[in-house]
């Protein structure tokens, strides 16, 4: 803990409709991969805190799942609860939007940010996708008009453009006080959770359509006693029998592909060799059941 009385520390909730790049932004700010990223919406299901520290400022960045206007399944409702919990009591909310059009999901996200009762800053992400740089200014003006934002920062999370000025803006809103997390902490989540998420990321990337949303990953065994080799055994939970055969794939090809890709990503991230064992299990209808969604969601 930093006991220096001149330090600042606080919590920032990143809020935004699915796919705008919240997790990409947190990873860029933390300078490590702590939140998974895919081109598919609703990738993030849990409330994850990324911790950014420098000499005298520490910012806990909350990657909260977006609010779902569709609350058909218990899993969706659990994700909404996680979203609400994500903004409670923060020092600053940051609404992340795409540099493209403003949608009703952006409006819902703004409501979520305002519900925090904290000042709301605006981040306009994916600025790199704007071919005509002259278009950026009118976009900034139009997006800024939706609320009396504490600041407006056009950035590219992917290219790490303009992050310094965003960090300055966030820092100004952090209260004086001691650090809330260890100086070298990157996240509030344990390694086995991050490992499960990395495996889920590969499943989301390789599997098509709705199936990724019916899948949960649970790391059963995580053994890092040997500093050169990590043993990870995980269960992939699906909701129906036929999903199990899709995840395994013809002749086991899909599971092999997911396993290889996850193993390489984990080895790269942990900087050790990784022994990865994956098993697929059916838990009929789990996304429709509140209790099981709370555990897995
Ligand atoms: N071109 C470009 N793409 C980006 C940028 N930031 C994120 N992306 C891409 O946008 C997609 C979604 O990014 P995520 O970080 O998963 O978005 P998210 O807001 O966390 O999404 P959910 O977890 O589903 O709510 C991925 O394909 C990212 O690579 C950016 O600055 N520029
Ligand atoms: Mg995300």
CA of 86 to the centre of ligand 2 (A): 13
Average pLDDT, the chain: 91
Ligand 1 pocket test, candidate residues 19, 46, 79, most atoms within 8 A of CB: 19
What pLDDT score was predicted for residue 70? 67
CA of 35 to the centre of ligand 2 (A): 7
CA of 106 to the centre of ligand 2 (A): 15
Task: Output the residue whose Cα is nearest ligand 1's atom 30.
Answer: 126
- Say what the pTM is: 0.91
Does any ligand 1 atom lie closer than 6 A to the CB of residue 2?
no
**CA–CA gap between residue 94 and residue 22 (Å, rounded):** 10
What pLDDT score was predicted for residue 292? 80
CB count in 10 Å sphere of residue 69: 11
Q: Which residues of the chain fall short of a pLDDT of 50?
A: none
pLDDT in tens, 127-179: 999 888 888 899 999 999 999 999 999 999 999 999 999 999 999 999 999 99
**CA–CA gap between residue 165 and residue 123 (Å, rounded):** 11
- Domains of the chain in start order, with CATH, are 8-172 (3.40.50.300), 191-296 (3.30.300.20)
Does any ligand 1 atom lie closer than 6 A to the CB of residue 24?
yes
What pLDDT score was predicted for residue 135? 85
CA of 46 to the centre of ligand 2 (A): 9
């Amino acid at each position: 803990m930093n006991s220096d009385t001149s330090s600042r520390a606080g919590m920032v909730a990143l809020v935004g409709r699915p796919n705008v790049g919240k997790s990409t932004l947190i990873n860029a700010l933390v300078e490590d991969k702590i939140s998974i990223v895919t081109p598919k919406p609703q990738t993030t299901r849990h409330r994850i805190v990324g911790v950014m520290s420098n000499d005298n400022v520490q910012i806990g960045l909350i990657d909260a799942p977006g609010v779902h206007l569709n609350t058909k399944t218990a899993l969706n409702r659990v994700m909404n609860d996680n979203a609400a919990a994500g903004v409670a009591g923060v020092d600053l909310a940051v609404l992340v939007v795409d540099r493209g059009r403003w949608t009703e999901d952006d409006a819902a996200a703004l409501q979520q940010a305002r519900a925090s009762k904290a000042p709301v800053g605006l981040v306009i992400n994916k600025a790199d996708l704007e071919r005509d740089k002259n278009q950026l200014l009118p976009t900034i003006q139009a997006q800024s008009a939706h609320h009396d934002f504490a600041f407006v920062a056009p950035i590219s999370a992917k290219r790490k453009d303009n992050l310094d000025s965003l960090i300055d803006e966030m820092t100004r809103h952090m209260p004086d006080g001691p650090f809330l997390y260890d100086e070298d902490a990157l996240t509030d989540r344990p390694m086995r959770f991050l490992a499960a998420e990395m495996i889920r990321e590969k499943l989301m990337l390789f599997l098509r359509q709705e199936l990724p949303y019916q899948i949960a990953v649970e790391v059963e065994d995580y053994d890092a006693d040997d500093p050169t080799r990590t043993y990870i055994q995980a269960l992939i939970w699906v909701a129906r029998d036929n999903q199990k055969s899709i995840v395994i794939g013809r002749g086991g090809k899909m599971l092999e592909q997911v396993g290889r890709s996850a193993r390489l990503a984990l080895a790269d991230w942990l900087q050790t060799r990784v022994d990865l064992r994956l098993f697929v299990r059916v838990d009929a209808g789990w996304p429709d059941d509140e209790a099981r969604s709370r555990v897995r969601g």
